[in-house]
Amino acid sequence: MTGYIARRLLQMVVTLFVILTVLFFLFRLMPGDPASMVLDPKMPPEAKEVLRHQFGLDRPLFTQYLLYLGNVLRGNFGRSFQSARSVLAVIVERLPATLLLFTTASVLSFALGMWIGKLIAWRRGGPLETSCTLLGLSFYTVFLPWFGMLVIWIFAYRLDWFPLGGILTPQLWIGMASTWAKALDVLHHLALPLFVLTAVMFAGSMLVMRSSMLETLEQDYVTAARAKGLTERVVRNRHAARNAMLPLVTSFTLSLAFSMSGGVLTETVFSWPGLGTELVEAVLSQDFPLAQGAFLLIAVLVLVANLVADVLYVVLDPRIRYR
Amino acid sequence: MKKRRWLSLRKNPLGFLGAGILLAFVLMAIFAPLLPHLSPIYDPVQGMDPEILGTSPPSARHLLGTDAWGGDVLSQLMHGARTALLVAVIAAATSVAIGTIVGLLSGHYGGAVDGTLMRLVDVMLTLPLIPLVLVVSSALGQLSIWGVVLLIGFLGWPGIARVIRAQALSLRTRDFIESARAYGAGNARIILRHMAPSVLPLAFVYMSLTANGAIFLEAALSFLGLGDPNTVSWGMMLQWCFKTGNTFRAPYWMLPPGLSISALCFSFYLIGRGLDEVVNPRLRRM
């Protein structure tokens, strides 16, 4: 097991290395060099040279690449063009909000998809199956930002049940509210974005669970369980569903990237102060160091989530020998 | 054989629903230029109805209302259908072409070629697509609609490459490939004349599924403010509605473009699923 995790960690490092390399060369391919983006064109050429030297842009490309790798390894992602703050400080500040939305939505949509998938496979061909499939597929292909706007319009603007956006009510947090009230406040803000992201994602797990469950139901041990006289409920939940879950974990790993993409859009629509909004703002204001930093952290988040899901898979299914 | 395949497609009502929706949008795109011009000085797409300032709810003059500048929402919607279909076809064709080539090369040559290409595919598949598109487009600067389409096409191939590779791996050991090799056919000839035709149906299925992703991505980029501002697209309409703060004040402006994006994505997805059941008969049983 430790060997398996070590190997997967090594793979992750290689992946990150590839991403870093591509990012570096991508941003060097831009018209002009990074300095021309920040420098005032009216600056005298000598002053430009000094600055280029300070940025290390007069060195050979390969030396620059090594310097860049070294800096990233030491957690130095440079400074934001806009706020002049250290990129690392900015993105670490944004991490908790993204982590909260991403993990809750991933887990909730997985659980929901598994549960519904199980039920519709069990009552195959019924109206429940048709309606759930149609509903799930509509959510699966809905244009997420628009769906978010719609949900805000109905539940926050018209009905006024939930806040319009953001993660907390500033007045409450400045005041002397109890920890409970604060937690409830965050949950209140989390409800709508969580609903949107979960609705969009659960259909993936639902469809995989459905077909996996249908395959499992044809197995001999399910017939055997029925022959033993076990109740239908026990056969469904204990015998069939548990084994049908395994392909679902694999598809869950693949869906993590999808859920992070959806997360970026959800965050933007709900002004959720996470990495996604930060990335979008940085890209729009051409704040390249910040954009790279936010992207890297998002990538690391997905890679770590992948690793966790893979390790869970091995724990769940002892038949799998960790290769 | 052909007849039976067709029949099984008819047994797939969802696939036909998808085809119906797609047809509606194609008609919309075809008839977009035939929209009546209200007056000689008024261009329905670029807007500025001289008699209307700002948003206005649906009326006989503007069936779906107007946007913040007096532009006709219906006209923009119909022209947006052209953009969306264009994006879908070109971006998906690009992705499918790259994916098929990479998959065939990978499956045919195996070894180091396969290892490197599939490692790249793994990396690209673990990365979330929207952040990736965002960061790449920020490095490339302001893109035209063609740039956006190509960018989406160039990032959408890894999934296809993986599926085609699996197919190519199983083809490699089939008799007709072996016999072609025995006749002395070179690698290029085996790949182009013998393997490529066999994987084409599968590539076609994925073209439909990729089109759905391409439309979504283009709309998302436009919505986030990174699209081509000179193009009338559904994502742009939504972005303007959101940015000018009209989401709640003018729902008649917000609803149609989002509904169109969703419906078109839905239709491509259903068509892809339907075709997949025809091409992969194993799924039909379930």
Written as one string, the DSSP assignment of chain B is -HHHHHHHHHT-HHHHHHHHHHHHHHHHHHHGGGPPPSBTTBBTTTB--TT--S-B---SSSTT-B-TTS-BHHHHHHHHHHHHHHHHHHHHHHHHHHHHHHHHHHHHH-HHHHHHHHHHHHHHHHS-HHHHHHHHHHHH-S--HHHHHHHHHHHS-HHHHHHHHHHHHHHHTSHHHHHHHHTT--HHHIIIIIIHHHHHHHHHHHHHHHHHHHHHHHHHHHHHT-S-TTS--HHHHHHHHHHTT-TTT-HHHHHHHHHHHHHHHHHHHHHHHHHHHHH-GGGGG-
Chain A residues closer than 8 Å to B129 by CB: 257-258, 261
Residues A290/B138, Cβ–Cβ less than 8 Å? no
Q: Decide if B134 and A279 are in contact by the 8 Å CB cutoff.
A: yes
Q: With a cut of 50, say whether residue B187 has pLDDT above it.
A: yes
Interchain CB contacts (distance < 8 Å): A and B:
142
Average pLDDT of every residue of chain B: 80
Q: Say yes or no to pLDDT of B138 above 60.
A: yes
A25 has pLDDT over 70 = yes
Query: Contacts from A172-180 at CB under 8 Å and sequence distance 24+?
Result: none
Distance CA B205, CA B279 (A): 8
pLDDT of residue A187: 87
- From A180's Cα to the closest Cα of chain B, the distance in A is 32
CA dist., res. B194 & res. B205, Å (int): 19
pLDDT value at A149 more than 70: yes
Task: List chain B residues with CB under 8 Å of A134.
Answer: 14
A288's tokens: 């390249």
Instruction: Give yes or no for a contact between A139 and A191, defined as CB atoms under 8 angstroms apart.
Output: no
Q: What's residue A74's pLDDT?
A: 82
Is the CB of A145 less than 8 angstroms away from the CB of B138?
Answer: no
What SS3 state is found at A79? Answer: strand
CA distance A150 to chain B (A): 8
**Selection from B145, B157, B155, B147 nearest residue B82 by Cα:** B145
* Angstrom distance (rounded) from CA A68 to CA A86: 15
In A205-224, the residues whose Cβ lies within 8 Å of chain B are 211, 214-215
Tell me which range, A31-35, A276-280, A286-290, B247-251, is most confidently predicted by mean pLDDT.
A276-280
**Locus of tokens 């061909």:** A125
Burial of B164 (0-12, 13-18, 19+ CB in 10 A): buried
Percent of chain B with pLDDT over 70: 85
Report pLDDT for B285: 43
Write the DSSP assignment of A35-71 as a string of letters.
HHHHS-TTS-HHHHHHHHHHHTTTS-HHHHHHHHHHH
pLDDT, residue B96, reads: 92
- What letter represents residue A43's amino acid? M
Most confident of A76-85, A231-240, B68-77, B260-269: B260-269
- The answer to whether the CB of B71 falls within 8 A of the CB of B45 is yes
Q: CA–CA separation, A23 vs B197, rounded Å?
A: 36
Does residue B116 carry a pLDDT above 90? no
Cross-chain residue pair A143–B131, CB shorter than 8 Å? no
Q: Give the residue from chain B lying closest to A269, CA to CA.
A: B242
Closest CA to B6 of B277, B216, B208: B277
Using pLDDT thresholds of 50, 70 and 90, give the confidence band for residue B91.
very high
Residue B220: its chain A contacts at CB < 8 A? 143-145, 265
Name the closest residue on chain A to residue B222, using Cα atoms. Answer: A145
- The verdict on A296 touching B (C-beta cutoff 8 Å) is no
Question: Would you state the pLDDT for residue A23?
Answer: 85
- The alpha-carbon gap from B193 to the nearest alpha carbon of chain A, in Å, equals 34
CA nearest A207 in B: which residue?
B286
Give the ipTM.
0.84
Q: How far apart are CA B238 and CA B246, in angstroms?
A: 10
Hey, which of A185-189, A228-232, B55-59, B147-151 has the most confident mean pLDDT?
A: B147-151
Per-residue confidence at B42, pLDDT binned at 50, 70, 90? low
Smallest CA–CA separation between B281 and chain A, in Å? 14
A318: closest CA of chain B, how far (Å): 25
Q: A122 at the B interface (CB within 8 A)?
A: no
Q: Is A231 on the interface with B (CB under 8 A)?
A: no
**Are A284 and B283 a contacting pair at CB < 8 A?**
no
pLDDT tens-digit map of A111-121: 999 999 888 88
Question: For the segment B202-257, what is each residue's pLDDT rounded down to a tens digit?
Answer: 888 888 888 988 999 999 998 988 888 888 889 888 888 888 877 777 788 788 88
For residue A216, pLDDT beyond 70: yes
- What distance in Å separates the CA atoms of residue A122 and residue B54, rounded to the nearest whole number? 54
Comparing CB atoms, the residue among B125, B258, B266 nearest residue A141 is B266
* Mean pLDDT, residues B154-176: 85
The model's confidence at residue B45, banded by pLDDT at 50, 70 and 90, is low
- Whether residue A32 is predicted with pLDDT greater than 60 in this model: the reply is no
Which single residue is written with the structure tokens 């793994």? B122
pLDDT mean over A217-233: 84
pLDDT band at A164 (very low <50, low <70, confident <90, very high): confident
The pLDDT value given to residue B244: 81
Cα–Cα distance between B36 and B275 in angstroms, integer?
Answer: 38
Distance from CA of B182 to the nearest CA of A (A): 36
Answer whether A295 sits within 8 Å of B134, measured CB to CB: yes
Q: Which of A37, A265, A51 is nearest to B141 (CA)?
A: A37
- Predicted local confidence at residue A39, as pLDDT: 59
- Which amino acid, B208? S
